[in-house]
Amino acid sequence: MSINQEQRTIRCLVAKVGLDGHDRGAHVISRAFRDAGFEVIYSGLHRAPEEIVQAAVQEDVDILGISILSGAHDTLVPEILDGLKEYDAFDDTLVLVGGIIPDDDEEKLKELGVAEVFGPGASMESMIEFVRENAPERD
Amino acid sequence: MQERSQGDGGEQRTDASGDQAEPEGDDAAVNPLIEELLGGKHRALARVITKIENRQPGYRDLVSQLHQHTGNATVIGVTGSPGSGKSTLVDKMAATYRDRGETVGVIAIDPSSPFTGGAVLGDRIRMGSNVGDMDVFFRSMSARGSLGGLSTATTDAVKALDAFGKDRIIIETVGAGQNEIDIVKTADTVMVLVPPGSGDDVQMLKAGILEIADVFVVNKADLEGANRTVQELREMLDYSDGGVPRTVGHHGPDAGFDGSGGEDHDDEEGWDPTIVETVADRGEGVEELLDVLEQHQAYLDNSGQRDAQRRARYAEEIRTLVREDVNELLVAEIDHQGGIDAFVQRVLDRETDPYAIADDVVGPIEDCVSERRE
C-alpha cells in the first residue's frame, strides 16, 4: 500500500443515546459493519446527545447510526441533529435511526433530516447496502 | 459559521480540484480548509485528519501548509497490552490537563481486520471524563493494514492537532508489533503501561519495549501483584543502567517535585526511566504521572535531547517520504514497461534474473539523476 494511494473507508458512529441499556442490537450492527469493511466507532451506553455530537464531529464519520429502544427518540434525535448543525456537520453526515419507532414518528424524524429508520426485522444486508449507496460524497 | 455551512461543500470542491493544479497558484494561497483549521473550527480539523487518513488528492499540500504552524505541542505516546487500561488512563490524563487549563488532542489507534479492512474502534467508550468538552479533541484511527503508511498518517494527524493549537497531544496504541512501536517512538515522551501480575509482561519487555519507555506506568496498582510488578520492573531497569530508577507511588511522590526537573542526576546521566503507579479508573496517581511527564519534558529541554529528537524525527520523516515516493515512481515505471507479471515470466523462463531487472528499471532513473547533478 503506497503512501499516496487514496484509501477511502466508510466511517460509522454507532451511538446509544439516553437511558437505554439495550445494546445487543448496536453490537450486532457494529460487527456487521466491521465485517462489511467499514470503520466503526462505538459510543458505549448511556450517552448524552452532546457526546454523540462531539464524537460525530471529531471522528468525521460518514454515517451516524443512532440506536434507540427507549421511546425517547422524539426528544433525543432532534437534539443530536441540532448539535450537528451547530458544528456544520449535518449536511454531510448520513443519519440513521434504529429501534422501535412508531410510523408517525418515523415520518417526523425523516422530515427533520434522518435519512432512514430501521425497525425490528430490518436485514443486515439491506442496511449495509443502504449505507454503501447513500454514504455522503465528499469532495 | 452559518454561512459557512452553505459555502462549505462547494468551496471545498473547487479548492480540491484547484489543489491538483496547484503549481500556478503559488505557495502563498492558503487552503481555505487550513484557514478554518487555524481559525479553530473543529469540523475543519476533523476533515483535514480524514483527508490525511484517506490520502485524498491534495492532502500533501494541506500537510505542507500545516508544517509552519507546528512545534508548540508536546506529544506523549502511550502503549501497553490490550486491557492494561490505556484508554481509561488517557481519559483521566486529558481531564487533568484540562483542569490545569491546557487543551488536549488524542489519537487512538486500533487494529483493523486484515481480511475486510473493517475495524471497531472502541477507545472512545472510555472517554467519560471529557463529555461535551470540545477542547479535548479525540480521534480514533484504524491501522487500515498499511505498511509504514500508518506512522506517516499519525505524524501528519499530530501536525494537524498541533497547528490547531492543542497544548498536549496523546497518541494511544496497542503495543503489539513493530508498527505500533514505530508510531509511539515519534512521541516526545513514551509511556508504557504494565498491568500487574502477569509473566507476559516480561515477554513484552523482552520485545524491545524496555528501550523505548521513558516512563513505566503500573496501572491497576490496587490489584494484587502490583508491588511485585514494580519490583520486577525496577530490577530489570537496574540491569540496564546500573542506577536505581525512581518510583512514584500513587499515594504521593517520594520526593517533592517542584517542576525543576530533578537536576540532581538527570542532567548529567540522561533520563532514568521512572516507574509510576496509578489506578486509572479512580484517577489515583494521575497528577503524579503528569508531574513525571513534565519532568521528562524539562529534561528534554535542559539536556538538548529535544533538539536531537526533533532532528532525528524529521530526518526519518524525510527518508520515509522519499522512499515511498521513489517506490511509487518505480511501481509506475514497472507498469509502464509491461507490468510485474511480464518480468516474473521472464525470470521463470530463465531469460533473465531479478537483479538484472532491478538494474534495468532503476538504471535510467539513476542516469537521469546523475545527469541533473552535473
Query: Quick one: pLDDT at residue B238?
Result: 74
**Mean pLDDT score, A10-35:** 91
For residue B353, give how far its alpha carbon lies from the nearest alpha carbon of chain A (Å): 25
Q: Which residue has the higher pLDDT, B174 or A94?
A: A94
What's the confidence (pLDDT) of residue B341? 92
Positions of chain B with pLDDT under 50? 1-26, 243, 251-267
Decide if A67 touches B, using CB distance below 8 A: no
Separation CA B174–CA B77 (nearest Å): 11
CA closest to B47 among chain A residues: A60
pLDDT of B173: 86
pLDDT of residue B258: 41
Residues in chain A closer than 8 A to B52 (CB atoms): none
Sign of CA dihedral B112, B116, B117, B118: negative
Q: Which residue in chain B has the smallest CA separation from A6? A: B55
Nearest CA in chain A to B40: A87
Answer yes or no: are the C-beta atoms of B216 and B276 closer than 8 Å. yes
What is the maximum span of chain B, computed from C-alpha positions, in angstroms?
A: 74
Domain A11-132: state its class.
Answer: alpha beta
Instruction: Give φ, ψ of A17 to 5 degrees.
Output: -125, 145
Nearest-CA distance A111 → chain B (Å): 19
ipTM value, please give it.
0.89
**What is the helix, strand, coil percentage profile of chain A, to 5?**
40, 20, 40
Nearest to B132 among A3, A38, A50 (CB): A50
Q: Which residue of A has its CA nearest to B106?
A: A58
Q: Taking residues A12-30, report their average pLDDT.
A: 90
Q: Check A34 against B4: CB less than 8 A apart.
A: no
Helix (H, G, I), strand (E, B) or coil at B76: strand
Q: Encode pLDDT of B342-371 as tens digits.
A: 999 999 999 999 999 999 888 888 898 899
Integer distance in angstroms from the first to the last C-alpha of chain A? 22
Q: What is the pLDDT of residue B247?
A: 58
Q: Given this model, what pLDDT does residue B343 score?
A: 92
A30 touches chain B (CB under 8 A): yes
Give φ, ψ of A127 to 5 degrees.
Answer: -65, -45
Q: Please report the pLDDT score of residue A138 as a whole number.
A: 77
The average confidence (pLDDT) of chain B is 80
Residues 6+ apart with CB under 8 A from B262: B246, B255, B295, B299
pLDDT at B208: 65
| Residue B113: strand, helix, or coil | coil
Q: Which CATH superfamily is domain B74-312 in?
A: P-loop containing nucleotide triphosphate hydrolases (3.40.50.300)
Q: Do A39 and B121 touch (CB under 8 A)?
A: yes
The grid coordinates listed for B59 are 492532502
Q: Residue A52: pLDDT above 70?
A: yes
pLDDT: which is higher, A5 or B281 = B281
Q: Which of B43, B140, B328 sits opposite A2 (nearest CB)?
A: B328
